[in-house]
Structures are given as structure tokens and as C-alpha cells.
Structure 1
Amino acid sequence: MNAEQVWSASTGPSGDPAGDVVRWAVFSCLLVPVVLVVYGSSFAGAAGSAAGLTAVTAVCRLLLRHSERAAAEERALRSVVARSRRGRAAPAGQRGGRHGGSCTPEG
């Protein structure tokens, strides 16, 4: 692997966009209190902000993971249904032929 491949692998788009969002959120949770203290906020205020950001980040991470799991389950379900229908002319309820029931006219 040459230097260009290493650079593009480390800076290119990753396969986990939710993970990227969480990493940036964690970075913000660490950076915001530092900036608040540097610009004159109290340590207690900065700690409170850090705690709030951490709680919001944790909830967002849970929601993102739940959404990813639901989307993966939906894709899996669709692929199973598509595979089961391959090779059939029509689903079972739409096949031609005679069947009993109240759909036939009584004369």
C-alpha cells in the first residue's frame, strides 16, 4: 500500500456514517467545555455543558443505531420476498383458474 492509498483510506468516506457523526459529537463534547473555560466561563458551567452534550450524544447514538438496525431488517425482508417471488408467474392469490366462493354468479 503506497502513501496515496493510506491517505485516501484515512480521509475518504467511511462505510459507517453514523459512526462518523458520533465521533464528531464526542469531539464536540470535549472541545466545547475547553472553549467555554478559555473564554471565561466557570468550570461548573463548562462541566454542565459537557454533561448535557454527552447526554444528547448518547441518545442520538442510540437512535442512529436503532434506525440502522430497522433499515437493515427492512432490506433483508425485501430481499427474502424478492427471492421467493423469482420464478413465479404471479403470487398465489393472483393465479388464474377456477375457485369456489361467492364470486361466481348464481343463475
Structure 2
Amino acid sequence: MGDVVRWAAFSCVLVPVVLLWYGSSPARATGTALGLAAVAGACRVLLRQSERGAARLRAEERVAHRGRHQRTGTGTHRGGRHPGGTTPVD
């Protein structure tokens, strides 16, 4: 995520400089810089939330995966065929 933040900061500086270079007003360049900073900040927050959610899902899958496929504890043979004992005895 560090690379994304560095590129966002770079663009927040570069775009207003280019606007000033090509004759835009300083007020317009400043407004553009503030808008880019707001968008970059919102994207950073959303990216962080997404990473946290993905990490939480991976952790839950690891726990659920162990419990579902390891055959230990009570009820390990539930639903399977059991030899004998199922036919009526006379």
C-alpha cells in the first residue's frame, strides 16, 4: 500500500504544477490539488478496509477449513454407512 500512497502524493503535486505550467490560474491548480488529495484519501481508506476484510476472511477460512475437514472429535462418522446393526433381528 505504500507504493499507492507515494504515487497518489506524487500526482497531487505533479498535476497542479503541470496546470500552472500550461497557464491555468493558481486558484484552479490549488482546487485541483485539494480535489486529488480528497480522492486519494478516500481511496486509501477504502483500500485499507478492503485489506482488513480480506485478512479477516482468510483467517476465518483457515479456522473453518480445519474444523470441517479434520476428522477428529465427536460426530466424525455422522451420515456415513455403518456395518451391521441396521437389519432387523428375529
**Per the shorter chain, which TM-score range?**
0.7 to 0.9
CA distance in 1, matches of 2:26, 2:3: 29
Residues 6-52 of structure 1: CA distance to partner in whole angstroms, max 9, x if unpaired? Answer: xxxxxxxxxxxx33222111110011111111111111000000000
Q: Tell me the equivalent position of 2:52.
A: 69
Residue 37 of structure 2 aligns to which amino acid in structure 1?
T
Q: Tell me the equivalent position of 1:80.
A: 63
Residue 44 of structure 1 aligns to which amino acid in structure 2?
A
Identity, in percent, stands at 61
Q: Tell me the equivalent position of 2:22.
A: 39
CA distance in 2, matches of 1:64, 1:51: 20
For residues 16-27 of structure 1, what are the structure 2 equivalents within 5 Å?
18-27=1-10
Which protein is bigger by CA-based radius of gyration? 2
Q: Which 5+ residue runs of structure 2 have no aligned equivalent? A: 81-90
CA distance in 1, matches of 2:70, 2:49: 34
* Alignment TM-score, normalising by the size of structure 1: 0.65
* Alignment TM-score, normalising by the size of structure 2: 0.76
Number of aligned positions between the proteins: 79
Q: Which 5+ residue runs of structure 1 have no aligned equivalent? A: 1-17, 98-107
Residues 47-104 of structure 1: CA distance to partner in whole angstroms, max 9, x if unpaired? Answer: 0000000000000000000000000000000001112234317xx5x8137xxxxxxx
